[in-house]
Amino acid sequence: MRKNMIVVGMTCALALACASMGNVDAVRAAALQTIGVEQIADNASNRPAELIELKSFKAHVDSIEATSPTAATVLTTYKYKGRFNTGAGEKSGMLTIQRKLQYTKNGDVWSQNGAAEEVARKTSWSGAKQS
């Protein structure tokens, strides 16, 4: 009887782990879809205010934490290459922003819940704009 209980317990734990992995994959797909829509739609509302001219934009998912079967936190990194307004004038280079996004599951669909929260920012300037 004891062996049966151990086997049942291990089977339940394995099933839960597999379900969580499926959720993580589904959340990653939803996050990548959000990033893709931003790139395709050329959505300026999600861009940094100091961006003057965008030359390239890359983004990727850093990590996913399933906080419950219907909620997850996703960390993403966005890299904007172009010209920017800074306190020291216009500069060209790269602005990297890490954002935290919340996702919720409704039925089988994961969707972003609320606005992204900026958690880190890094700049790499190539110098002042030449006139």
Tokens found for residue 5: 């209980």
Q: What is the pLDDT along the chain (131 residues), one digit of tens a residue?
A: 555 444 344 443 333 443 444 688 999 999 988 888 777 766 666 788 899 999 998 999 999 999 999 999 999 999 999 999 998 899 999 999 999 999 999 999 999 999 899 999 999 998 555 44
Tokens found for residue 51: 């961006």
Q: What is the pTM (predicted TM-score) of this model?
A: 0.74
Phi, psi of 128 (to 5 degrees): -75, 150
Which numeric CATH code is attached to 2-128? 3.10.450
